[in-house]
Structure 1
Amino acid sequence: MTPPEPAGGPALLRYRPTDPAASPAVQELLDHLGLGRLDPDGLTGYGGRNDNWAGRTASGERVFLKTVARAPDGTSGELDRALSFEALAHRLPADSALRSPEHLGSHRPGAVIAYRLLPDARSGTEVALDDGFDDELCRTAGRALAALHDLDPSGADLDDGEAPLPPLDWLEALPWSALQDRSMGQIAAWKLVQDDPEVVAALRGLRERERTAPRTPAHCDLRFDQFILADGQLYLCDWEEFRLADPARDVGAFVGEWLFHATCSAFAPTGGGGQEAPVGFDLTHDEVLRRGREGLRRHLPRVEAFWQGYLERRTPDPGLAGRAVGFAGWHLYDRLIATAQAHATLSPVARAAAGIGRTLLTRPAGAEAALRLHSPTPAGTTPRPTRPTGSTR
């Protein structure tokens, strides 16, 4: 897929999609829905591992379609989990803080799912890159996750299997089947984890605590690009990993996204005289650490606003914040591994992000306060003063 040429203004991450004719299930689904063919004019796509298409059909309907993974026997756990969310989402009240694009239908044999396309939508990644994912949007994201975690799953057919990441077996060694598909950078990233006995022990301990934690409906694959901003409203999408799980996974992933963004944005090219490499190869170790600390200070108010929004709508179990710190630590390693796909070596900035993750996993004492994940104030007590976050909107 070829990215479009930049046209100035806000970042718009769009791609030239594959020919939908190469996926007959796409047209079969559109015919079943009575929407007609996709109009090739203006047809576009979004990033991601799955083929997807966004545009208008012959009937004038704006749609977003995507394929999801299928097993060799033709079944698709990803499609099943996405549809289980759609079934459960009908229980949300009309004024729920949790919004998701309208599901139009699906094609099970072809593992294709269709949604109504939100006009002028931008992914959360784009919004964050433009510094538009402000305190108020973070607070809204916290309320949305609280609404998700408070959904009543009774009687619903939800996947209750253990979430796949982090894969405990891979903490010892990568299986040959996985090794063949990994870049040299990703192998180096996994070696960074495997050669650190403290991190391995911390990840095993986190999975043990997760097994005894209360379980709720959870997204389980939360990143900025799973959020969509359209017409001033925040939506959450991509439900292929939805299941009953520890809600700390989602909280920790959102916190981890901000920590990763804070680290990387500290090394983005500046508008000044020199264009400094965002990967940080030209920087000293002390400069990497200094910039990383400054980035964290700038972005922590977003984490605090998110957590405040969460607490406005839901009272978490006593250990959730502590487990969320651990999952935030894992998220930084997960993002390190994902972004290493196109590289042969790990950059200093990537290593700096992993260093923050290591600290959260191996020395969690005090991390809840440092990340402003304070516990709910018991009834009848005086809240501890916090610095106002203030919206940047």
Structure 2
Amino acid sequence: MVKLRNDGHKHLHSEQGARRGEHPGRSTNPLIRVADIAWLEFDKPDLVRAEAFARAFGLGVASSDPRQLVLRGTDAGCPCLIVRPGTHSRFTGVAFRAADEVDVLRLADKVHAPVQPLPEALGGVAVQLTDPSGIAVKVVGGLHELPELPTQSPLLLNTGRKTLRTNATQRPLRAPARVQRLGHVVLQSTTYLATLNWYLDTLGMIVSDFLYFPGQRDRGPTMSFIRCDRGDSPADHHTLALALGPANRYVHSAYQVSDLDALAAGGEYLRDRGYFRSWGIGRHIQGSQLFDYWRDPDGFLVEHFTDGDMFDNTVEPGWAPFTATGLAQWGPPVSRDFLGTTPKHAPQELRSMVSALRDRNEFDLTRLIGLLKVASS
């Protein structure tokens, strides 16, 4: 029996679906289909400081020594983050988990890349790739599975006449929100379309939602929320989000917690310890998740989220204009810090824009005007 695909505009997740001839949001014959995101990798000059923030943010420590800090969530599986010492802080790559080890071998054969054994602590094998933006991408399989850890249970809520809690109060502690897992990473690219197609053709990912710059839909999308194709099994609305911009870089990553109380109380814990909230609390439109964004001590943006959308592979992409006010259903106005338009960020952004306009890529003057409209919308 063939399952019918759901159009993006049928009151499902976007007001608009694709027009004739627009990007289909999936490859007809991908090399493999990855199952999920595995972990992110960073270099940081101070692993002690990085670990202190990670613990306050709610991540667990799988292992720690002067050469490497491995951070995890409470879910069984693989680590969320691998942090190594470096002279300066930088994002060094992302790993995606193949459906099985055979897919790693198949991919390596098709792209003519060697299969590399991973360290014994992780187990399994990897093939090392580079996307068109220059981002390092590992595809891994056959990993040792970390055991499940105790997590925060969602609170029982009395809603309307539905009473689940009687003769009991709610007193969530201001404590770190226990991160369950890594949910997604957001990247920016000067070669957005080529990079998007690479992830669809190489890793078999599919688009949940496209955004386009105001007034520029005829030039194609400029952001995509991309999920793993697990067939009939639902996957996160986006495991990877990719946006056109003046630099090839990490934007943020997101970590799931149990519920709104965990997210909010965990945020109070971070605030009490002097960490900087970038934007939140609110609920997104694309993906629907409740969100709360924070800066780590090195300035990297990280997100607590809960209650995100889950789609199987029958859902077609939605299309919507890319606007600042369209990033949330409710919550405080999007902050200048989140958009990268503060005086602190301005010099770097200006240098990136000038450099991108000089190079041959997809970020031209028209796209720059569109991006500026997004920030002011």
After TM superposition, the score normalised by the length of structure 2 is: 0.29
- The structure whose residues are more often strand, as a share, is 2
After TM superposition, the score normalised by the length of structure 1 is: 0.28
- The structure whose residues are more often helix, as a share, is 1
